[in-house]
Structure formats: C-alpha cells, structure tokens
C-alpha cells in the first residue's frame, strides 16, 4: 500500500496545472456559467476543442482510438487538477457514454465515422433512454423500432433528454421485440437528430433553466447500419455504459474544490460580528461533509485502482454514485446556508455589486438543479437495490 505520487506523476501534475492556467480564463468561465443555453453550447465546444488540440479530451479511451493512454494515477491527477482549477467536466454524452460503447461494440465503419467527430466535439450527442412510463424500470421501454428493408422505423417518445435541443445525434434504446424477457427485446440505435419525424419539446427545470427535453419520434427512419451490435442485445451494451456513467457522476474532485470554496465564502461572511467559519455549528456541518468526502476520495481511488488492474466498475460504481451525489447535495446546501438571504435572488439585470452578494444566485442554481443528481443515472434508491442484490447477495 502506497499512495504517494512518483516523481514523474508530480511532473505530470505540473504540466497539467500549467496547461489549465494558460488555456482556461475567466472570460470563458463566465460564458460557461451563463443561463443562455446557446452561449453555453458555443463556449463548452470551444473549450473541448482546446482540450482536443492538447490531446487530452478523452482520458478514459484506449490510445488506439484517440485516448490518452494514461494510467489510473494520471487520470486521477488530471481530474483533480481540472476541478481544482474550477473547470467543469466535459459534456459526457459523447465522450463518456456513447464513445466507449462505439469503440467497444461498434463496427469499423461506425468507429471511423463517429469517434473522430466525438473527439473533436463536432457532433453533440444526447442520451435517449428514459421514457415517460419507463424511468427506474428502464427495461420496460416502449419506443418501437420496426424493420422495413434496410431501415428501422422508430415511433415513441423519450423524456428528460438533456441538451437534446443542441444535439446532432441521439443514442437510443428501442424495442425491437416484445417476446421473452423485456431486457432481451431492446436494441441500441444511433439516430441523426435531423431525420424527419423527430420533434424536441423543451422542459424547464426547477433551476429555471432549459436543459431537459421530451423527444418525439414519428415514423423516423434509421438505417440498420446505425445499430450497435446485434439486434435485441442493446441492453447488454447499455449496461456496460451505465457503470461508467455512475462513476463519473460521483464528481469527487469537483466536490472537493466546491467545499474549499464554501470554506472561503464562510470565512468572509460575518455573522454577529464574527466570521461564520468560527461558528461551531457551521464548523460541524462543514466537517461532517469534509470527512465523508475524504473517505470517498479514497473509495474512488480504490475503485480506480481495481479497474486499472483489470476489474470492471461494477456495484462499486453504485456506492460512488450514492455517496458522491449525497455529498454534492450537502455542499450545495452549505453554499445556500452561507448565502443566507441572498440564496433566493433570481438572475436579473442587476450586477452582483448592486445586489450586494456575488455568489447567492449561483448557489441557488446549483442547489436547485443539484436535486436531480440523486435521481438521474439510475436513482439512488435503485443503486441501493443494486448493492443489496449484487454485493450483499440479498
């Protein structure tokens, strides 16, 4: 057992740190934080292209497909430095979700066509799994794909599709058979969002932003060549992806940085003549979260190390997802506590100076949207069911 960094890792850390300091600036940061989805899209694509130029856009991918080929330690260092620099993670749908599915299960043509465009952020992907009637019970999905010559004809509706309004492509789970077990009649399709018959309806969420959508499919023709793997085996491919998604959702490095921010905000906040950080009740609240996070950081390292030596993230990813999202929500709540009266202020024409407080509004947005992290990626209740079954054998 040894968790100290080797000297080459330390050199790598400095390299990453220098890159982030030079390549990322406040101007980009403010465009990334805007409530305007269009400005956000342009900014995040711009940032991802910079990462791509550097060759660091896909740390988790094998080198032969354009990944970095880093070991677990380097990937960990990269994530930690990114978060510490206050830089958000890349949009996951292409790079962390469908990309790995395509390079693992796709045909050569699919790999050649899609992977470079994912790496360069020229295609924006969205995830079409959930349906109005199928959330936790995803395998009950009803969106139908029927064979007609070299095409499938797709009918149905997906919901909660994040950033469908930006997307060039959607990866979908569709029903190709209603025989046998419900998991066994599902196929994995890649669908061009420009195909006639697709309609995207916006859903405004409780943070007052528009990132969610309902996507309707009305006789949408999809070439059979856009199917991943075999017909009716889509569930297997989707499951392989879910574990990756959950591990990413834990966002340990981001929580670490945000907790440090909370500490600094609290230090500056005065309560009855004293710094809020000196308040024993607040200290307890803060340390309760920090201690959990210290532990989770090592839990994550243990999972990463086992993956590096050939294990797959299985039920451990559920543990990371549960505790990671609980910690995110606790940190968001602490920010709200620090922002006190200003936590409710809505975005308006007013500058932060006029309002009298710089971070209340951001605290609100993060807190409200943050309620979703225990719901998406497989709700925390469902993750507990997974652990009960797969780990405890119940």
Partner 1 sequence: MNFDFSEEQVMLRDSVARFVQDDYDFDTRRSIAASEAGMSREFWQTFAELGWLSIPFAEEHGGFGGDAVDVMVVMEQLGRGLVLEPYLETVLLFGGLLQQGGSDAQQSDYIPAIIDGSCLGAFAYLERQSRYELADVATTASADGDGYRLNGEKVVVFNGGNADHFIVSARTSGEQCAEQGVSLFLVAADAPGLDKLAYSLMDGRRVVNLVLNDVKVPAGNLVGELDGGYPLIESVVMQAVLALGAEAVGIMGELNAKTVEYTRTREQFGVPIGSFQALQHRMVDTFIAYEQTRSLLYRAVCALTDAEEDAATAVHALKVMMDRAGKHIFGEAIQLHGGMGITDELDIGHYAKRLMMINTTFGNGDYHQAKFNALRYN
Which residue, 82 or 361, has its beta carbon nearer to partner 1? 361
Identify the CA nearest to 227 among candidates 255, 197, 189: 189
- What are the structure tokens assigned to 142, written together? 């009803």
Cβ 51 to partner 1 shortest distance, Å: 29
Number of residues lying near ligand FAD (CB under 6 A): 19
Minimum gap (Å) between residue 86 Cβ and ligand FAD: 22
Residue 129 in the binding site for ligand FAD (CB under 6 A)? yes
Contact criterion met (CB below 8 Å) for 126 and 159: no
For the bound state, the minimum distance from the C-beta of residue 94 to ligand FAD, rounded and expressed in Å, comes to: 12
Q: Nearest Cα to 222, choosing from 142, 147, 125?
A: 147
Q: Does 135 bind ligand FAD (CB under 6 A)?
A: yes
Using CB under 6 A as the binding rule, the residues of this chain from 205 to 264 that contact ligand FAD are: 212
Question: Minimum distance from CB of 5 to ligand FAD (Å)?
Answer: 35
The residue ranges that bind partner 1 (CB under 8 A) are 130, 133-137, 140, 159-160, 203-206, 208, 212, 269-273, 276, 279, 281-282, 285, 333, 336-337, 340-346, 348, 350, 354-357, 364, 368-369, 371-372, 374-376, 379-381, 384-385
Least distance between partner 1 and beta carbon 139 (Å): 9
Identify the residue whose tokens are 């039920």: 315
Which residue lies nearer to ligand FAD by CB, 130 or 183? 130
Tokens of residue 343, six digits: 């936590």
Q: How far is CA 199 from CA 165, 195, 367, in A?
A: 10, 10, 30
Q: Compare residues 65 and 376 and give the one whose CB is closer to ligand FAD.
A: 376
Q: CB of 351: closest distance to partner 1 in angstroms?
A: 10
Q: How far apart are CA 374 and CA 133, in angstroms?
A: 19
14 contacts ligand FAD (rule: CB under 6 A): no
Known catalytic residue at 245 = yes
Q: Of these partners, partner 1, ligand FAD, none, which one is at the site of residue 340 (CB under 5 to 8 Å by kind)? A: partner 1
Cα 93-369-87 angle, rounded to 5 deg: 60
Smallest distance from the beta carbon of 325 to partner 1, in angstroms? Answer: 11
Describe the crossing of helices 315-339 and 252-268 by its angle, rounded to 10 degrees: 20
- How many angstroms separate the most distant Cα atoms in the chain? 76
Q: What sign for the dihedral angle of Cα 240, 241, 242, 243?
A: positive
Q: Of 45 and 382, which CB lies nearer to ligand FAD in the complex structure?
A: 382
Query: Phi and psi at residue 167, in whole multiples of 5°?
Result: -80, 145
In three-state secondary structure terms, 217 is strand
Question: Which one from 245, 251, 300, 316 is the annotated catalytic residue?
Answer: 245
Terminus-to-terminus CA distance in the chain, angstroms? Answer: 32
Provide the 3-class DSSP secondary structure of residue 208: coil
Can you tell me the distance from the alpha carbon of 73 to that of 62, in angstroms, rounded to the nearest whole number?
Answer: 15
| Contact criterion met (CB below 8 Å) for 186 and 234 | yes
- Please identify, using beta-carbon distances, which residue of 85 and 340 lies nearer to partner 1: 340
Binding of ligand FAD by 318 (CB under 6 A): no
For residue 141, the 8-state DSSP code is -
For the segment 158-187, give every residue that binds ligand FAD (CB under 6 A).
160-162
Contact stretch for ligand FAD (CB under 6 A) within 44-52, 121-129, 330-338, 341-349: 121-129
Those residues whose C-beta lies under 8 Å from the C-beta of residue 383, and which sit 6 or more positions away, are 246, 318, 319, 321, 322
Looking at beta carbons only, is 100 or 128 nearer to ligand FAD? 128
Q: At what angle do helices 315-339 and 234-249 cross, to 10 degrees?
A: 40
Q: Is residue 127 at the binding interface for ligand FAD, with CB under 6 A as the rule?
A: yes
Per rule CB under 6 A, is residue 92 in the interface with ligand FAD?
A: no
Binding of ligand FAD at residue 275 (CB under 6 A)?
A: no
Residues that bind ligand FAD (CB under 6 A): 126-130, 135-136, 160-162, 212, 372, 375-376, 378-379, 381-382, 385
Give catalytic residues, as residue numbers. Answer: 245
């Amino acid at each position: 057992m040894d968790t100290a960094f080797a000297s080459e890792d330390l050199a790598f850390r400095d390299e990453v740190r220098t890159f982030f300091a030079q390549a990322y600036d406040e101007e980009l940061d403010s465009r990334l934080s805007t409530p305007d989805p269009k400005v956000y899209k342009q900014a995040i694509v711009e940032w991802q292209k910079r990462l791509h130029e550097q060759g660091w856009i896909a740390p988790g991918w094998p080198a032969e497909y354009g990944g970095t080929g880093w070991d677990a330690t380097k990937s960990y260092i990269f994530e930690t430095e990114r978060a510490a620099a206050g830089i958000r993670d890349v949009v996951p749908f292409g790079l962390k979700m469908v990309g790995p599915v395509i390079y693992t299960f796709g045909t050569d043509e699919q790999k050649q066509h899609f992977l470079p465009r994912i790496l360069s952020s020229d295609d924006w992907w969205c995830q079409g799994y959930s349906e109005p009637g199928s959330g936790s019970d995803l395998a009950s999905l009803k969106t139908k794909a029927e064979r007609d010559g070299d095409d499938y004809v797709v009918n149905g509706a997906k919901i909660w599709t994040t950033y469908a309004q930006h997307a060039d492509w959607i990866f979908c789970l569709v029903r190709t058979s209603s025989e046998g077990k419900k998991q066994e009649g599902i196929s994995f399709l890649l669908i061009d969002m420009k195909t006639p018959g697709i309609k995207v309806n916006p859903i405004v969420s409780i943070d007052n932003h528009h990132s969610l959508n309902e996507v309707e499919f009305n006789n949408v023709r999809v070439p059979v060549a856009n199917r991943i793997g075999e017909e009716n085996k889509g569930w297997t491919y989707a499951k392989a992806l879910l574990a990756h998604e959950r591990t990413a959702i834990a966002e340990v490095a981001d929580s670490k940085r945000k907790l440090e921010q909370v500490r600094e905000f609290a230090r500056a906040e005065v309560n009855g003549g004293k710094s809020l950080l000196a308040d024993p009740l607040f200290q307890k609240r803060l340390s309760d979260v920090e201690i959990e996070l210290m532990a989770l950081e090592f839990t994550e390292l243990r999972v990463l190390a086992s993956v590096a030596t050939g294990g797959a993230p299985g039920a451990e990813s559920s543990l990371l997802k549960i505790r990671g999202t609980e910690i995110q929500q606790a940190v968001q709540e602490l920010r709200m506590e620090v922002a006190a009266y200003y936590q409710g202020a809505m975005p308006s024409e007013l500058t932060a100076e006029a309002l009298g407080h710089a971070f209340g509004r951001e605290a609100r947005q993060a807190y409200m949207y943050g309620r979703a992290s225990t719901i998406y990626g497989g709700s925390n209740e469902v993750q507990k069911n997974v652990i009960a079954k797969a780990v405890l054998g119940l």
